[in-house]
Structure 1
């Protein structure tokens, strides 16, 4: 959450997870000072939640992010999320080694159900899997190398496996000639999709920021990938959101299935999508999704189906989350400019890299 605007969105995401959880929660938030200040103003209102909540803020300077991208050497972005958006490729490097697995969710989303149900998706993986995200095999976009086939907006990541495979490259790793460690996983997948880096040293024609790179990885290493059910990413990029929404509370599964759209030629064809997480992306010309001008239009299809859910989750008071015993606590920690894994490796192995 790199800005106050992203924190305003992300606060709703955190709130929804706390609202519905049946287990303790541990949040890891990569942010700047403005985002941390906004989030803490909400979290400090939480004094006795139902389950313990721990929050670690990773205050990463913009220069630190630029430097890590430079050490990778060949990735870049022209996406609106900018360099902070590329940090989604380095989560395994920033989070502590004792964090084996994690769920990543974009800020412009919120839960409709217990996030523990999403965590249970890890148990459905075979031993080779390390990445899961929604897979929209019917959403072709050749101009994006078909990166629209996935959405890196919500990801389940086995961080320990990604660390062991050295997901992302670094000049530090390239300077190590011991032969004791594997080469980085991603460069061959990037070249397979984008070709070799161009004259400026960067891969060319990469669309959608980090998602373009994730697509290169999972499309060329399908043994690492497990598709995430569509229930976990009901997205306003498909403005009719599969044609599901609030209302008609007595509708049957058969009737709901007949109303579904965007499911032809997918594993979910003929099945109802049961929303568990709403993602309000692609609402253009707004920094914060819940201030989108379209919400004021009662005739807008998205407004008809989902505005009450937005209003409820935005308006639900943080104070109302204080419904547990006094034994459940909220723990907040702050790490200033934590080192990336390649920096730790350079220190441990006495490597000096000049860029």
Structure 2
């Protein structure tokens, strides 16, 4: 809706989701900019197998095993995809995603991960994993592959001495202590986010905080109390209304929403029963935006003349550790 550049989507999903989304993308016969769509259809067994090869990851989060795949995006996408933006499915952009992509140009050479950071959040029962949100991430996939972000039995069997040990195991143990008797880390809250927190909190050299503009969330932070309203609101008035910024790098600043995230609305966010209550605070601030984006017809995106949509599907793609094994058959020798 807002892009000023060609787009490339990488969608990791099951067959039902592919069918639903592909039917929408097929409506785009002449978008303003070219669009490339790559579907990666992982079987549930392949996900289980990759987690088993890691050996220690476990989750009781509602997102389950598929949710943990956020830790493996650098392995699922092909090696020629160097960088990517990840956005949760319960969020939508309010502005040009090229602005978010430009964040990569601000990184130091060693940075591999960027996501919102909330140092004011205190949740010891979650190992303080609420101090980040993996709902919006900028990932330098190439650097994560080179560092072997997540361990594998294939990597552990590598005797070549040419590649580094996996990056994450010491960060997991530093935060969670040694794994349990079954070799797994139990009771790691927030699913993938708990493991991301272990990584970025122990390897700060890899991490760059992302501005809160890119994660205006309904969970914990109540959208900073920003939202739709009077069109003549000046910055000083907006600043006085801001919440949850004390003790953060953005204290005294104004959060300017660029991405809205409804992670505290269960099920499908736009079916939330609260939208029917005109007195609800969240409804007052964001219902109109939700209605507009949900009701926007894909046909209306046909604004160009010569652009196209290219769609490809990859069934059960190999993870990076499997690709390594295939490319280095003698690494175990």
SS in 2 for 1:281: coil
Deviation sequence 1:110-155 (CA, Å, 0-9, x none): 0000000000011111111100000011111000000000000110
Separation in 2, partners of 1:351, 1:234 = 49
Given the two structures, how large is their TM-score scaled by the length of structure 2? 0.98
Match of residue 14 from structure 1: none
1:249 aligns with 2:228: no
Give the alignment partner of residue 37 of structure 1, picking from 1, 19, 42.
19
Q: Which residues of 2 match residues 154-303 of structure 1 at below 5 A?
A: 154-238=136-220, 240-284=222-266, 287-303=267-283
CA RMSD between the two structures: 1.1
Separation in 1, partners of 2:223, 2:325 = 46
Separation in 1, partners of 2:37, 2:251 = 39
Deviation at 1:238, TM superposition (A): 3.6
Match of residue 330 from structure 1: 309
Deviation sequence 1:5-44 (CA, Å, 0-9, x none): xxxxxxxxxxxxxx00000000000010000000011111
Separation in 2, partners of 1:249, 1:192 = 48
1:121 aligns with 2:100: no
Deviation at 1:349, TM superposition (A): 2.2
Q: Is the 8 A contact 1:106 1:154 kept in 2?
A: yes
SS in 1 for 2:311: strand
Q: Is the 8 A contact 2:214 2:260 kept in 1?
A: yes
SS in 1 for 2:74: helix
Match of residue 321 from structure 1: 301
Deviation at 1:350, TM superposition (A): 2.2
SS in 2 for 1:20: coil
Separation in 2, partners of 1:93, 1:70 = 15
Deviation at 1:94, TM superposition (A): 1.0
Deviation at 1:180, TM superposition (A): 1.2
**Unmatched 5+ stretches in structure 1:** 1-18
Separation in 1, partners of 2:220, 2:309 = 37
Q: How many residues in Structure 1 have an aligned counterpart in Structure 2?
A: 332
Q: Is the 8 A contact 1:175 1:351 kept in 2?
A: no
Separation in 2, partners of 1:238, 1:194 = 23
Q: Is the 8 A contact 1:240 1:301 kept in 2?
A: no
Separation in 2, partners of 1:100, 1:176 = 24
Q: Is the 8 A contact 2:76 2:320 kept in 1?
A: yes
Q: Is the 8 A contact 1:133 1:226 kept in 2?
A: yes
**Unmatched 5+ stretches in structure 2:** none
Deviation at 1:351, TM superposition (A): 6.3
Give the alignment partner of residue 319 of structure 2, picking from 340, 343, 351.
340
